[in-house]
Amino acid sequence: MNEKTLRMLEFHKVIDRLVKHTSFNASAELAEAVHPSSDMYTVRRLLSETNEARQLLEAQANITIGGARDIRETSENAARGGVLNPIDMLDIKNTLVSARNLARQMSKDEITYPFLTEIALRLFVPPGIVTAITRVLSDRGEILDNASDKLSKLRSELRITHDRLLSRMQKMLSNKEIAPYLQDSLVTQRDGRYVLPFKTEAKGRIKIVVHDISSSGATVFAEPLQSVELNNKWRELQIKEKDEELRIMAGLSGVIGSHHHELVALVEALAEIDLVFAKAKYSERIKATAPLIKPFKPDRKTRNPGMSLKLIRARHPLLDPDEVVPMDIVLTPETFVMVITGPNTGGKTVSLKTAGLLVLMAQSGIQIPAEEGSEMSLFTRVYADIGDEQSIEQSLSTFSGHITNIIQILDEADQRSLVIFDELGAGTDPLEGAALAHAILTYLVDRGISTLVATHYPELKAYAHSTKGVTNASLEFDLETLRPTYRLRVGLPGRSNALAIAKRIGLQEQIVERARGVIDPTNLKVEDLLDEINQQRNLTEDARIKAESDLNEIVNLRSELEKRL
């Protein structure tokens, strides 16, 4: 897929929002790597997985990947002979427990969740690791006394020696020979040994081993000779304890390292499941549905690509779902090119971006913010020319930048591509720009390439009306409020409304009338006719909505009467 198009259509922003719904690093990495695919089996499967996840999360709201962590690097360290620390081992244990629980929950209903169950079957937990870690470590990461017989004996002896040492030190605080030389009556530690705080003059008067001196120099921290042997024994036992703990942890690390490949596979399966859950949560957030994926059915005689793009009440996923105005965007095997017209700031660019971004989302296995019944074919490539292509570094004007991009698109696009052009031919002389836009659009139509074009040129409106395979569409503008409605109407071209808007805002009447006098009378008649058609169409739409409302009321009344009878 064309990377420039992904950037123009802001696909990365959708991915950023998807990443925020993941639960750990491994699934976040998978989400960041999500990319559109044109393989029908892959896309249908991904969309089905998301559907299953939404059903599962609705049925079991508490189902998660739990305390799973990305333990691949830790496992690799163990496989290379490294000794893991207790926290890393607890992460491994919690990840394995989470995987085991998740596999148990997801395998309960294989018929309802076939795709998720298939992933869950890869959650193989190597036997013995959880038990081994539980036998060695507490939930707080402390090595348990019974991790080995030797450690148990060492710690028992350590406690006895420690108690004897402290008892002896406490007695020294009240010893008549020692007490007069003490700065404070307390037992403290220096360099891992128990000491007493002596006055400086104690040196040379009683037998002590100095370990530290206070910053003022008035106090020395030393141990009397009577405690040296016990202190030595206590320190020796501590060293033996650490050696035994290291031996235990090294052995446990070796067990974990021997299952490195299984642990990596398990994390990858967990990440895949979590990504599906993330897609499901994101779909719920943007009120999305899964479109129907339809194959291309090209017509060799007419060069028609035979594609389908039907987005019902589509909404841009990056806009507030409660405020954005839904729109219907429809390309069919009969009309594979749409020319969208309407006033500035009327939403033409948003319409194009909505269509392009929803195609990219669906082809990435992400459900789209549109109503049930939406459908699309899978494009091998999506191309877009939207926004300002001016380049100071390459000394290109805006027009030159667009043409450079368009040349590349025309060279690469084929019948399985979707091409999106915003303001085709703009940025130069209007007459030449319109001619160029007409020629480019003709080239695309002749080659049977699905295309969405936004334009102001009336020549393209006429072209769309008279050319087979091409349809007009317009975005409404409310002249009363001077605001766009953002409703896309397929079948009729739109008006620029420049004169009407200028007059409404308050531009002098004689200036507006003089401007109307410059415009070709034929164009004015066409514009007035379009205005009248749109007004009639709005009235018809209002009448249809009222008729539907009345029909619903009649159906309800009939049902109520039948119940009463």
| Percent of the chain clearing pLDDT 70 (strictly above) | 90
267/72 Cα distance (integer angstroms): 7
User: Domain check: are 439 and 478 in the same one?
Assistant: yes
Q: Which residues, 6+ apart, have CB-to-CB distance to 226 below 8 Å?
A: 168, 172
| Percent of the chain clearing pLDDT 90 (strictly above) | 44
Dump pLDDT digits (tens) for 24-43: 899 999 999 999 999 999 99
Evaluate whether residue 243 is within a structural domain.
no
Other CB atoms within 10 A of residue 541 CB: 12
User: Domain check: are 470 and 511 in the same one?
Assistant: yes
Residue 480 binned pLDDT confidence (cut-offs 50, 70, 90): low
- pLDDT value, residue 184: 85
Other CB atoms within 10 A of residue 93 CB: 22
- 147 pLDDT above the threshold of 70: yes
**Mean pLDDT, to the nearest integer, of 217-231?**
87
Residue 484 binned pLDDT confidence (cut-offs 50, 70, 90): low
Dump pLDDT digits (tens) for 345-394: 657 888 899 999 999 999 999 999 999 999 999 999 999 998 755 443 44
- pLDDT value, residue 496: 61
Residue 60's CATH number: 1.10.1420.10
Evaluate whether residue 309 is within a structural domain.
yes
DSSP E strand stretches across 348-496: 375-376, 381-385, 417-422, 450-454, 470-478, 483-490
Other CB atoms within 10 A of residue 450 CB: 29
Evaluate whether residue 188 is within a structural domain.
yes
Mean pLDDT of the chain: 85
pTM over 0.95: no
Which range is most confident: 302-316, 343-357, 494-508?
302-316
- 544 pLDDT above the threshold of 80: no
Higher pLDDT, 394 or 63: 63
Q: What is the residue type of 430?
A: P
Residue 298 binned pLDDT confidence (cut-offs 50, 70, 90): confident
Helices (H), 80-122: 86-106, 114-120
- pLDDT value, residue 173: 86
- 527 pLDDT above the threshold of 60: no
Burial class (CB in 10 A: 0-12, 13-18, 19+), 408: middle
User: Domain check: are 352 and 437 in the same one?
Assistant: yes
Buried b (16+ CB within 10 A) or exposed e, 30-52: bbeebebbeeeeebeebbbbbbb
User: Domain check: are 338 and 435 in the same one?
Assistant: yes
Please identify, among 251, 285, 319, the residue that sits at the C-terminal boundary of a domain: 285
Residue 299 binned pLDDT confidence (cut-offs 50, 70, 90): confident
User: Domain check: are 68 and 27 in the same one?
Assistant: yes
**Mean pLDDT, to the nearest integer, of 475-479?**
69
User: Domain check: are 418 and 545 in the same one?
Assistant: no
Smallest CA-to-CA distance from 315 within 283, 341, 276 is with 283
- pLDDT value, residue 531: 57
Which range is most confident: 61-70, 107-116, 186-195, 267-276?
267-276
- pLDDT value, residue 525: 47
- pLDDT value, residue 394: 43
Strands 381-385 and 417-422: parallel
Evaluate whether residue 544 is within a structural domain.
yes
Which of 239-248, 531-540, 548-557 is least confident? Answer: 531-540
Helices 260-285 & 225-257, crossing angle to 10 degrees? 80
Residue 339's CATH number: 3.40.50.300
- 157 pLDDT above the threshold of 70: yes
User: Domain check: are 400 and 436 in the same one?
Assistant: yes
Evaluate whether residue 141 is within a structural domain.
no
- pLDDT value, residue 391: 44
**Mean pLDDT, to the nearest integer, of 324-330?**
87
Contact 190, 207 (CB under 8 A): no
Evaluate whether residue 11 is within a structural domain.
yes
- pLDDT value, residue 508: 83
Query: Considering Cα of 554, then 556, then 562, then 565, what sign does the dihedral take?
Result: negative
Which of 170-179, 270-279, 484-493, 519-528 is least confident? Answer: 519-528
What is the longest distance spanned by two Cα atoms in the chain? 122
User: Domain check: are 489 and 538 in the same one?
Assistant: no
Helix (H, G, I), strand (E, B) or coil at 557: helix
User: Domain check: are 328 and 384 in the same one?
Assistant: yes
**Mean pLDDT, to the nearest integer, of 239-253?**
93
Which of 325-334, 427-436, 552-561 is least confident? Answer: 427-436
Structure tokens belonging to residue 51: 């559907």
User: Domain check: are 427 and 472 in the same one?
Assistant: yes
- 395 pLDDT above the threshold of 50: no
**Mean pLDDT, to the nearest integer, of 57-86?**
89
- 528 pLDDT above the threshold of 60: no
Which of 67-81, 267-281, 499-513 is least confident? Answer: 499-513
Q: Which long-range contacts (CB under 8 A, 24 or more apart) does 154-159 make?
A: 154/237, 154/240, 154/241, 154/244, 155/241, 157/237, 158/234, 158/237, 158/238, 158/241
**Mean pLDDT, to the nearest integer, of 175-180?**
84
**Mean pLDDT, to the nearest integer, of 129-142?**
92
- 66 pLDDT above the threshold of 90: no
Dump pLDDT digits (tens) for 417-469: 999 998 887 777 778 888 888 899 999 999 999 999 988 887 888 888 888 88
Q: Give me the domain span that covers residue 59.
A: 7-126+259-285
Residue 521 binned pLDDT confidence (cut-offs 50, 70, 90): low
Evaluate whether residue 280 is within a structural domain.
yes
Which range is most confident: 23-37, 188-202, 333-347?
23-37
Which range is most confident: 132-141, 387-396, 518-527?
132-141
User: Domain check: are 345 and 491 in the same one?
Assistant: yes
**Mean pLDDT, to the nearest integer, of 258-282?**
94
Q: How many domains does the chain have?
A: 4
User: Domain check: are 343 and 487 in the same one?
Assistant: yes
